């Protein structure tokens, strides 16, 4: 519960990605004055170059039982989609040990049950934003799910069955004439499904539109403001940055993605958060790509993007600020080259790497810290974009009312 005698009237949100800006927007709905601080700028972290998939039907725990076979192979294959650099890093190996400990059917089912309620409200939360003036759009699928054989599709269809058993509806229909409708697929993709009920966005423009809405409603966004520390005082919580005067507010929300531990760990948030970095680039296609394409066996997700096709993949456990590794781009290209046709895989544009904030148990961190008036919103792994607006709505409700909504109770940052 918010500890002050009166309801909060102002908030500082640290982090201008989808999660942070959605939280700022919903706090404005409750009448708070908001200031958003970011060390770089709007959508500068994991929000810009990701696939932009609004797929609650696929927002499931990352650590699943297949990790025991797939992960072992990945350690020996430097081109595998899961990449763990060979280095002496005790914190990384401690994280990976805890991550692997959750790769059991029981742990996966428990985490999926916890995610389902927020998954179920994810798309409606986007509709609420766009209906209230966020000047962007969400686009419907279907999502094209491709495999090189019928046998290769079995693990994915089983996962979707488990998601449906947890309470979602994820229609999956076989497409026998896929190449006629999706000319980007080569004839090596022999088994194809269409997945309905999901959507996609261009993430950078959508997050910028959300930022514009926050500004238009009287909020303030400050770029180049790296937060150094928080300090409680009689006037509220002073958020101290390296380059400017402190900003004081009644409440503070830390939504800094993969950098969350720096500020949150001293406040009692002990759950490990590591950067699981994803890579993307865009290519030209002979015919415009109409639908998102997913190749589960290759862990590659593709999305129509400004007249091109954005190709995204890799889960790379490096530091969030380490340089882009060109070998990861080449590994993605090598894995998809046989499966694509009618596109230019030599002229790459929009090359990007971004750090997803991954937790060992596959659940985000949403709620109050041990420090009065300070909250966190992060640790969504690959699902920060799709779950960002719902996260902001639910956390704003907790901040203002002092009551934790049922949908985010499993995500207690102090667990």
| pLDDT tens for each residue of 390-406 | 999 999 999 999 999 99
- Using 50, 70 and 90 to split pLDDT, how confident is the model at 370? very high
Q: Give the other-Cβ count within 10 Å of 74's Cβ.
A: 17
CB 384 within 8 Å of CB 20: no
Question: What's the mean pLDDT in 226-246?
Answer: 95
Main-chain phi, psi angles of 165, to 5 degrees: -65, -25
The tens digit of pLDDT for each residue in 124-153 reads: 999 999 999 999 999 999 999 999 999 999
Q: Measured between alpha carbons, how far is 376 from 126 in angstroms, rounded to an integer?
A: 21
- Cα–Cα distance between 123 and 198 in angstroms, integer? 8
Mean pLDDT for the stretch of residues 385-390: 98
How far is Cα 109 from Cα 55, in angstroms, rounded to an integer? 18
Radius of gyration, CA atoms only, the chain: 21
Task: State both tokens at 410.
Answer: 């499993």
Res. 202: pLDDT tops 80: yes
Alpha-carbon distance values, 270 to 133, 260, 263, 318, 408 (Å): 37, 11, 11, 20, 18
> Are 127 and 199 spatial neighbours (Cβ–Cβ below 8 Å)?
no
Position 341 scores a pLDDT of 97
Instruction: Summarize pLDDT for 64-74 with one digit per residue, the tens.
Output: 877 666 666 66
The mean pLDDT of 57-79, rounded to a whole number, is 77
Q: What is the mean pLDDT of residues 157-168?
A: 96
- What is the Cα–Cα distance from 256 to 253, expressed in whole angstroms? 9
Mean pLDDT, residues 207-213: 98
Residue 57 Cα distances to 72, 115, 143, 310, 312, angstroms: 27, 11, 11, 21, 19
- Proportion of the chain above pLDDT 90, given as a percent: 89
pLDDT above 50: residue 119: yes
Contact at 8 Å (CB) between 402 and 2?
yes
Predicted confidence band of residue 63 (pLDDT cuts 50, 70, 90):
confident
CB 365 within 8 A of CB 359: yes
Q: What's the pLDDT at 404?
A: 98
Q: DSSP code of 373?
A: T
Return the higher-pLDDT residue of 324 and 47: 324
pLDDT class of 2 with cuts at 50, 70, 90: very low
Looking only at the bridges linking them, the beta strands covering 374-378 and 251-254 are parallel
Task: Say if CB 111 and CB 261 are below 8 A apart.
Answer: no
Q: What pLDDT, on the 0 to 100 scale, is given for residue 243? A: 83
Question: Sign of the CA dihedral 123, 127, 278, 15?
Answer: negative
Q: What mean pLDDT is reported for the chain? A: 94
pLDDT in tens, 237-286: 999 999 889 999 999 999 999 999 999 999 999 999 999 999 999 999 99
């Amino acid at each position: 519960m918010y500890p002050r005698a009166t309801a909060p009237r102002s908030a500082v949100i640290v982090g201008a990605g989808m999660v942070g800006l959605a939280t700022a927007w919903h706090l404005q709905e409750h009448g708070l004055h908001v200031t958003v601080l970011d060390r770089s700028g709007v959508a500068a972290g994991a929000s810009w170059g990701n696939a932009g998939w609004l797929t609650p039907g696929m927002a499931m725990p990352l650590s699943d039982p297949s990790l025991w076979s797939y992960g072992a192979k990945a350690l020996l294959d430097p081109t595998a989609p899961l990449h763990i650099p060979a280095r002496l890093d005790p914190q990384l190996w401690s994280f990976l040990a805890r991550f692997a400990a959750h790769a059991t059917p029981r742990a996966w089912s428990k985490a999926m049950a916890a995610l389902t309620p927020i998954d179920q409200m994810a798309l409606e939360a986007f509709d609420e934003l766009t209906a209230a003036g966020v000047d962007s759009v969400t686009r419907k699928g279907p999502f094209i799910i491709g495999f090189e054989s019928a046998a290769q599709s079995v693990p994915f269809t089983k996962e979707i069955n488990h998601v449906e058993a947890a309470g979602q509806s994820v229609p999956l229909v076989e497409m026998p004439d896929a190449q006629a409708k999706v000319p980007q697929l080569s004839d090596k993709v022999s088994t194809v499904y269409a997945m309905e009920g999901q959507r996609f966005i261009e993430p950078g423009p959508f997050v910028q539109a959300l930022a514009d809405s926050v500004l238009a409603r009287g909020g303030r966004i400050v770029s180049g403001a790296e937060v150094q520390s928080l300090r409680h005082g009689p006037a509220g919580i002073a958020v101290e940055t390296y380059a400017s005067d402190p900003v004081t507010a009644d409440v503070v929300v830390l939504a800094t993605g993969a950098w969350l531990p720096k500020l949150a760990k001293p406040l009692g948030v002990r759950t490990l958060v590591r950067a699981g970095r994803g890579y993307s680039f865009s290519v030209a296609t002979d015919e415009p790509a109409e639908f998102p394409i997913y190749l589960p066996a290759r862990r590659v997700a593709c999305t129509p993007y400004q007249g091109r096709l954005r190709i995204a993949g890799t889960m790379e456990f490096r530091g969030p600020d380490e340089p882009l590794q060109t070998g990861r781009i080449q590994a993605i290209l090598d894995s998809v080259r046989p499966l694509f046709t009618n596109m230019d895989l030599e002229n790459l544009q929009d090359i990007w790497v971004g750090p997803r904030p991954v937790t060992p148990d596959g659940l985000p961190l949403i709620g109050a810290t041990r420090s009065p008036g300070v909250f966190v919103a992060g640790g969504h792994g690959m699902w920060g974009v799709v779950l960002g607006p719902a996260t902001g709505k639910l956390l704003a409700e907790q901040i203002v009312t002092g009551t934790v909504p049922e949908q985010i109770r499993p995500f207690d940052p102090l667990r």
